[in-house]
Chain A
Amino acid sequence: MPRMRTFLVVAGAALLARRALRSRVAASPLWPMPALENPTSGRGRKGSQARQLTVTERTEEAEGVVRLRLEGTELPSWEPGAHIDLVLPSGTVRQYSLCGEPATPGSYTIATRLIEDGRGGSREVHEQLHEGTVVEVRGPRNRFPLGDSHAYVFIAGGIGITPILPMLRQAEREGVPWRLLYGGRSRASMPFLAEIEKLAGAGTDRVTVVAEDEDGRPDLAAVLAGAPPYAAVYCCGPEPLMDAVAALLPDGPDAPTLHTERFAPAAPAPAGGSAPFEVELRRTGRTVSVPSDTSVLRAIRDQALPDLPYSCEQGFCGTCQQRVLAGEVDHRDDLLTDAERDDSLLICVSRARGDRLVLDL
């Protein structure tokens, strides 16, 4: 008989458990598994690729500068300092900083200056993009993010104001003290002057506008010397301006940190070309040289880490993705999203744009 009793107890318990489970599952069909807070699956990689946007507004922002508003649906959000790749009707691709309000969904704003003797990109923007034109846009990406700081010093030269403008608005909103040195050829040619002066408020000395035809050259040394200790300096403008700022940056333990953005890549690699360069493996503490006919992957496997994972060696499977700590990457894969390209690369196909890369290996 004890056997019978055991059977009854087990059967009874099973029935009760079944009932309890049923009601719970009925109430919540996906009970009882936890979920990942930021799910990885189903985001779809295609969403980060090119989008077709329509030019909905074109205004003359200053002498030789047009401001374009590009509208589309489900545009990714962005942070100050971000830029987009604009694919022009001829197929030329140019980067333009976003200078609108990040909080505005459904549109991006850019401003471009016509450069008479440039490579033709700005001329195409000025001559071909009108209200109603549809253009292809990739991104946004951010190589010039505004980090947290207790004080900012912004230095902008001419059209270099575009990434700086959203930074000013954010600093102002967050109540972080800031100063701006804004230089240009003449007041008439400097975009966003009115908005910036309004942002600074009347009677303050937070903004110094230096127009070359009236005031001569800006006194960079004075601005940098006057920067508060540990301030963050953000500079965007012509190459000589950024070089001068870098050279004049005070030294010392409490010196300000410098962040710059170049309009064009420092040393554009010829398409398809493969110059040799060096790769530093920061955690391993070794440096590997990559000859022109060898991939980064092969070089590292042969010279330092034979067990590095990889598979397709053609830039689509993603197995060999590694984190980049420093150096400009010439991305040659078909896989990574723009966000991933900001801090990683596929070492089986991509190479350095300059002469050195630092990897987290």
Chain B
Amino acid sequence: MSNTASLRPQPVASEHIPLKARNVDFDWADTPLHWIPGDPSTTHTINVLHLLLPAGERWFVHVYKQVLPHIRDARLREDVIGFIGQEAMHSKAHDDVLPHLKEQGLDPTPYTAQVDWFFEKLLGDRTLPPGRARKWWLLERVATIAAIEHYTAFLGDWVLNAEVLDAKGADPTMLDLLRWHGAEEVEHRSVAFDLFMHLDGGYRRRARTWAVAFTALVFLWQRGVRFFMTHDPSLVDGKASFREFFRAGRQGVLPTTGAMARSIPQYLSRTYHPSQHGSTEQAVAYLAGSPAATAAEARTAGGA
């Protein structure tokens, strides 16, 4: 056995599960603007998801549709097809929250129009000669998606375990959206990485696209929180601050700064595989009891 074998990603086979999209539907009529009572700062930090995910996950689907013909592994192909449907539903579910925010006096459009530009233009299809250039751009985007999925799986695992949110009286519909989404992210956490390894797998590309994705996420996220805090009609002189962020981490209503820092070397480790972190079993257990997921199940069974 050569010593390079130990430096390859090491998947945990028992974490694999067949994927399917769920036809969920959420009713936002009764969700208050500050759906974590008395904590606008944390509410809006999590609300940034609704700004980034509709365009972001639509972009995943857009890129993966182009990747399908390049996949030479039947099981991975099934996984990617399941992944596409789940991501499409995530995008739509978060998109449906935006009109609700607008009704409550917090119009997200100035921000989401920029995110739309970011994913549809900056990271969209470019006029490139067929062949190497086009392949390069596709691989770059596939690797970027794998890096972002590391963070969505991290957040998914976190929200499934964030019991403090229940204790704080967070809105049940919003929690169900976040946990249904989180659970599906945990379910499919290996797909983007497996796809990247199948098509390319180069460590330099992995590290480079991680740096790009991480920087972009931090940039967009802090901007989103600042945007919400400044424009929230119910806050006088609302401001985003690091102190609030550390405080929320300590309280358990956001991931801790330490956990976020530790997730960096995880992804950059040469033996990293997403199946090493998080629990498919926990995700499946949540989905079995989730109001939205069970309603989707009933709708599918009745309609088909």
A34 vs B120: C-alpha distance in the bound complex, in angstroms?
Answer: 12
Residues of B within 8 A of A66 (CB): none
- In the complex, the chain B residue whose C-beta lies closest to that of A318 is B88
CB–CB B110/A35 < 8 A = yes
Cβ contact within 8 Å between B88 and A317: yes
Tell me if A42 counts as interface (CB < 8 A to partner B).
Answer: yes
Whole-angstrom distance between the alpha carbons of A275 and B64 in the complex?
Answer: 33
A30 near B: Cβ within 8 Å?
yes
Query: Does A36 reach chain B (CB closer than 8 Å)?
Result: yes
B61 interface residue per 8 A CB criterion: yes
Contact of A30 among B54, B121, B223 (CB under 8 A): B223
Interface residues of A (CB under 8 A from B): 29-30, 33-37, 39-47, 307, 309-312, 314, 316-319, 334
Residue total for B at the interface (Cβ-Cβ under 8 A)? 45
Question: In the complex, how many angstroms separate the beta carbon of B81 from the nearest chain A beta carbon?
Answer: 5
Separation of A41 and B111 alpha carbons in the complex (Å): 10
Interfacial chain A residues near B54, Cβ < 8 Å: 40-42
Given contacts A29-B223, A29-B230, list 18 more A-B pairs with CB under 8 A. Answer: A29-B226, A30-B111, A30-B227, A35-B110, A36-B120, A36-B121, A39-B116, A41-B115, A42-B99, A42-B112, A44-B99, A45-B95, A307-B68, A312-B23, A314-B303, A317-B84, A319-B61, A334-B23
Whether B112 and A33, one on each chain, are in contact in the complex, defined by CB atoms closer than 8 angstroms, is: no
Are the CB atoms of A44 and B112 closer together than 8 Å?
no
Q: Mark B212-238, 1 if CB is under 8 A from A, else 0.
A: 000000000001001100100000000
Q: Which residues of A contact B69 (CB under 8 A)?
A: 307
Can you list the 4 inter-chain pairs with the closest CB atoms, starting with the nearest?
A311-B85, A42-B98, A35-B113, A44-B99
Out of B84, B109, B223, B303, which one reaches A319, CB within 8 Å?
B84
Contacts of B99 in A (CB 8 A): 42-44, 46-47
Please give me the residue from chain A that is nearest to B69 by CB atom: A307
Task: List 19 contacting pairs A-B, 8 Å CB cutoff, sorted by A.
Answer: A29-B226, A29-B227, A30-B110, A34-B114, A34-B121, A35-B117, A36-B114, A36-B117, A36-B121, A40-B55, A40-B120, A42-B54, A44-B95, A45-B96, A309-B68, A311-B21, A311-B88, A317-B21, A334-B23
Q: Which of A36, A39, A40 has the most CB of B within 10 A?
A: A39
Bound Cα distance from A310 to B20, whole angstroms: 12
Q: How far is the CA of A29 from the CA of B84 in the complex (A)?
A: 34
Residue of A44, A46, A47, A312 touching B85 (CB-CB under 8 A): A312
Complex alpha-carbon distance, A30 and B112, angstroms: 11
With A29-B230, A30-B110, A311-B85 already in contact, the answer to whether A45 and B300 are too (CB < 8 A) is no
Rounded to whole angstroms, the CA-CA distance of A319 and B89 in the bound complex is 10
CB distance from A300 to the nearest CB of B (A): 14
Q: Which residue of A lies closest to B300 (CB)?
A: A314
0 or 1 for each of B8-43: is its CB under 8 Å from A? (1 = yes): 000000000000110100000000000000000000
Contact B81 A311 (CB under 8 A): yes
B92 in the interface (beta carbon within 8 A)? yes
Residues of A within 8 A of B23 (CB): 312, 314, 316-317, 334
**A41, B119: Cα distance in complex, Å:** 11
Question: Would B65 and A319 count as touching, CB distance under 8 A?
Answer: yes
Min C-beta distance of A17 to chain B, whole Å: 16
Q: Indicate if the CB atoms of A309 and B84 lie closer than 8 Å.
A: yes
- Assess whether B102 is interfacial by the CB under 8 Å rule: yes
Given A41-B116, A45-B92, A312-B20 contact (CB < 8 Å)? yes
| A321 → chain B closest CB, angstroms | 10
- In the complex, how many angstroms separate the beta carbon of B112 from the nearest chain A beta carbon? 4
A34 to B121, CA, bound (A): 10
In the complex, A42→B52 CA distance in Å?
11
B95 engages A41 (CB within 8 Å): yes
Inter-subunit contact B55/A41 (CB<8 Å): yes
List the A residue with the shortest CB-CB distance to B230: A29
Whole-angstrom distance from the CB of B92 to the nearest CB of chain A? Answer: 7
Q: How far is the CA of A91 from the CA of B108 in the complex (A)?
A: 37
B58 lies within 8 A of chain A by Cβ = yes
B285: which A residues are within 8 A, CB to CB? none
Which of the residues B84, B86, B88, B116 comes within 8 Å of A40, measured between beta carbons? B116
B252 in contact (CB, < 8 A): no
Q: How far is the CB of A52 from chain B (nearest CB, A)?
A: 16
> B304 an interface residue at 8 Å Cβ cutoff?
yes
Q: How far is the CA of A35 from the CA of B51 in the complex (A)?
A: 13
Q: Which residues of B contact A36 (CB under 8 A)?
A: 113-114, 116-117, 120-121
The answer to whether B82 has its CB under 8 Å from any CB of chain A is yes
State the CA gap A317–B184 with chains docked (Å).
15
**B114 engages A40 (CB within 8 Å):** no
User: When chains A and B are docked, how far (Å) is the Cα of A22 from the Cα of B150?
Assistant: 32
- Taking the nearest CB of chain B, how far is it from the CB of A185, in angstroms? 45
> Which chain B residue lies CB-closest to A39?
B113
B108, A42: Cβ atoms closer than 8 Å:
yes
> Which residues on the B side are within 8 Å of A45 (C-beta)?
92, 95-96
Report the separation of the CA atoms of residues A42 and B99 in the bound assembly, to the nearest whole angstrom: 6
Contact B89 A44 (CB under 8 A): no
- Whether A35 lies near B116 (C-beta < 8 A) is yes
CB-CB under 8 A for A310 and B81, given A44-B96, A45-B92, A317-B88:
yes
Q: A354 vs B172: C-alpha distance in the bound complex, in angstroms? A: 47
Q: How far is the CA of A318 from the CA of B91 in the complex (A)?
A: 11
B111 CB contacts on chain A under 8 angstroms: 30
Inter-chain contacts of B98 with A (CB < 8 A):
41-42, 44
> Would A40 and B65 be within 8 Å (CB), given that A33-B114, A35-B113, A310-B81 are in contact?
no
Cα A46 to Cα B113 with chains together (Å): 19
Q: How far does the alpha carbon of A163 sit from the alpha carbon of B112 in the complex, in Å?
A: 38
Q: How far is the CA of A45 from the CA of B93 in the complex (A)?
A: 10
Distance (whole angstroms) from the CB of A221 to the closest CB of chain B: 51
Question: Please, how many angstroms separate the alpha-carbon atoms of A62 and B192 in the complex?
Answer: 65
Q: Which of A33, A309, A310, A314 contacts B118 (CB 8 A)?
A: A33
